[in-house]
Amino acid sequence: MSEVNDQIREMVTSNDVVLYMKGTKEMPQCGFSSRVAGVLNYIGVEYQDVNVLADENVRQGIKDYSDWPTVPQLYVKGEFVGGCDIVTEMALSGELDTLFRDNGVNFSEEAAEKIREANK
């Protein structure tokens, strides 16, 4: 399992934004993954997607790595942000904008505002 842990650490530290998810950003395979990928795609964040369905070791390994029991899992600059509910709440409150801004991650502030307007 150490090899998988090293692989995950390398992925989250060598990419600004990483989403461990079921499926891919182009074709999510569950509603929760679809929601997080949808937010990131809509606001124009460049991110690395990792399909946990492609490798059972990674699927379990990411849960062990973060000590978080579910997927999707979002990482920004090597730090675990959260899963679907947390990312959704952050998008609606504006905290996700702040997180991306503070970490130098490019995104469309206009699109992020449209998400908040549509969910009022």
**The predicted structure's pLDDT at residue 2:** 86
Concatenated DSSP letters for 95-108? HHHHHHHHTT----
**Number of Cβ within a 10 Å radius of residue 93:** 11
Tens digits of residue pLDDT in 19-45: 999 999 999 999 999 999 999 999 999
Domains of the chain: 2-118 (3.40.30.10)
Which residue in 115, 15, 8, 114 sits closest to 71, CA to CA?
8
**The predicted structure's pLDDT at residue 104:** 97
| pTM recorded for the entire structure | 0.96
